[in-house]
Amino acid sequence: MTDFSRRVHGLYFDKDYNCARTMLICLCESRGIGLAQQTLDAAIGMHGAGRFRAQCGLVEGTLMALGVCGTAQGLAPKEISALCFAFAGDFTRRFGSLLCRDLRPGGFQPSDPPHACEPLTCAAVAFAAAFLEAKLPRR
């Protein structure tokens, strides 16, 4: 399995990308799939719904990647939706929740270090990449 820590760190600190964009980039890059800027732009507010602490961007970025990667492999929308459902269950079992408010219980405080979710992101991207490999093997 690939260690994504350097890429995650670079996207967080060099680009100041949020968790959803970081997940989407890491997962698609790991599959050799490029992303249009418009797709990355769509994920700008997907870090707990713009810091509202709703669905976690780590989940949202992965769901977007499942759509991109699944479509690239010719899956039907129904099959992609089933993969998203399976991922949500697996993620919840592994990390305890899909919600940013649970995964980041302190919320977003001005005193937080930058990108406080970096360790969680590294674990989540490795988990999601393994899910993709198991459920959507490369052809």
Residue 60 is part of which domain span? Answer: 5-135
pTM of the model: 0.92
| Per-residue model confidence (pLDDT) at position 138 | 81
| Per-residue model confidence (pLDDT) at position 39 | 94
Determine contact, residues 101/48, Cβ cutoff 8 Å: yes
**Calpha distance 55→10 (Å, rounded):** 24
| Per-residue model confidence (pLDDT) at position 2 | 61
Nearest to residue 32, comparing CAs of 53, 11, 2?
2
| Per-residue model confidence (pLDDT) at position 105 | 67
Residues near 60 by beta carbon (within 8 Å), at least 6 away in sequence: 20, 23, 43, 46
User: What confidence tens digit (pLDDT) does each residue in 120-131 have?
Assistant: 999 999 999 999
**Calpha distance 54→47 (Å, rounded):** 8
Determine contact, residues 45/82, Cβ cutoff 8 Å: no
In the chain, the number of structural domains is: 1
